[in-house]
Amino acid sequence: KAGVTQTPRYLIKTRGQQVTLSCSPISGHRSVSWYQQTPGQGLQFLFEYFSETQRNKGNFPGRFSGRQFSNSRSEMNVSTLELGDSALYLCASSSGGASTGELFFGEGSRLTVL
Amino acid sequence: AQSVTQLGSHVSVSEGALVLLRCNYSSSVPPYLFWYVQYPNQGLQLLLKYTSAATLVKGINGFEAEFKKSETSFHLTKPSAHMSDAAEYFCAVKGTSGGSYIPTFGRGTSLIVHP
């Protein structure tokens, strides 16, 4: 069974640009959540999608957005990039039903903003 | 509201020594608790989870954790550290009510293993 796939793995952007990150969940998983990981703030929850609907949202500005497609693949977009957006962005999938369900993480997309 | 506190951002042990990583949680309802491990340049991987079936939970790679309600703790242990255990470890709590399926993660503890 293939794991969670995130693309691209590494990318470099400049301030003011925008970026789109992609996540393909494990087959059959309907929930996809996104996290920002930085040395200073740790793992911070961005948002969660379940069956194409945003079910939960973290405390991030509107520059951060996401969506989920009918095949459960998800994308997140960051517009007007700032230096502070440099981070490892992690995607996780789960079956989404039971609260006991574990999260399966991808390897992340490392974004550097210059 | 739920929260997780991991005591010690870095823990250093010698190879073969006991590993103890501390996690205390706060939750208004009986929680589900998780330990994840992250190796360099990788995502997080589940080590073990507590879902109220048993207070002592065994996970992968020889790790185990004990749920202690009176102490609101879920410390991670391993009897004998290996060099390959060097990684970042995250404790997470997920409430069982309120409709939230999102866990809250601790800040992480970096385990350093000396030869």
Model confidence pLDDT, tens digit, residues A6-30: 999 999 999 999 999 999 999 999 9
Long-range CB contacts (within 8 A, 24+) of A49-52: A49/A74, A50/A96, A50/B101, A51/A96
CB contacts, 8 Å: B42 with chain A: 107-108
Collect all residues of chain A within an 8 Å Cβ-Cβ radius of residue B44: 90, 92, 103, 105
| Local structure of residue B53 (DSSP, 8 states) | S
C-alpha distance across the termini of chain A, in Å: 37
pLDDT at B97 over 60: no
- Interatomic CA distance for residues A113 and A109, integer angstroms: 13
Contacts of B31 (CB under 8 A, 6+ apart): B2, B25, B50, B93, B94, B95, B96
Determine the longest span between alpha carbons in chain B, in angstroms: 46
Between positions 73 and 92 of B, the ones with CB within 8 A of A are 90
Whether residues B44 and A90 touch (CB distance < 8 A) is answered with yes
Which residue do the tokens 């393909």 mark?
A24
- Judged against a pLDDT cut of 70, whether residue B75 lies above it is answered with yes
pLDDT (mean) for A77-84: 97
Q: What residue of A is the nearest CA neighbor of B94? A: A99
Taking an 8 Å cut-off on Cβ atoms, the answer to whether B96 and A45 are in contact is no
Strands of the sheet containing A5-7, edge to edge, are A5-7, A19-24, A74-78, A64-68
Identify the closest residue of chain B to A90 by CA–CA distance. B43
**Do residues A47 and A66 lie in contact, with contact meaning Cβ atoms separated by under 8 Å?**
yes
For B17-46, the pLDDT digits (tens) are 999 999 999 876 667 899 999 998 889 999
pLDDT confidence of residue A1: 65
Q: Say yes or no for a CB contact (<8 Å) between A105 and B95.
A: no
Q: How many beta carbons lie within 10 A of that of residue B56, not counting itself?
A: 9
Q: What is the mean pLDDT of chain B?
A: 90
Length of chain B, in residues: 115
Phi/psi for B103 (5° steps) reads -80, 155
Helices (H) and strands (E) in chain A, counts: 0, 11
Neighboring chain A residues of B95 at a CB cutoff of 8 Å:
99
Residue to mutate among B102, B105, B107, with most A CBs inside 10 A, is B102
Most A CBs within 10 Å, among B36, B44, B100, to test the A interface = B44
pLDDT, residue B53, reads: 75
Q: How far apart are CA A11 and CA A97, in angstroms?
A: 33
State the count of interchain CB pairs (< 8 A) between A and B: 56
Cβ–Cβ gap A103/B44 under 8 Å = yes
CB contact under 8 A, B106 and A42: yes
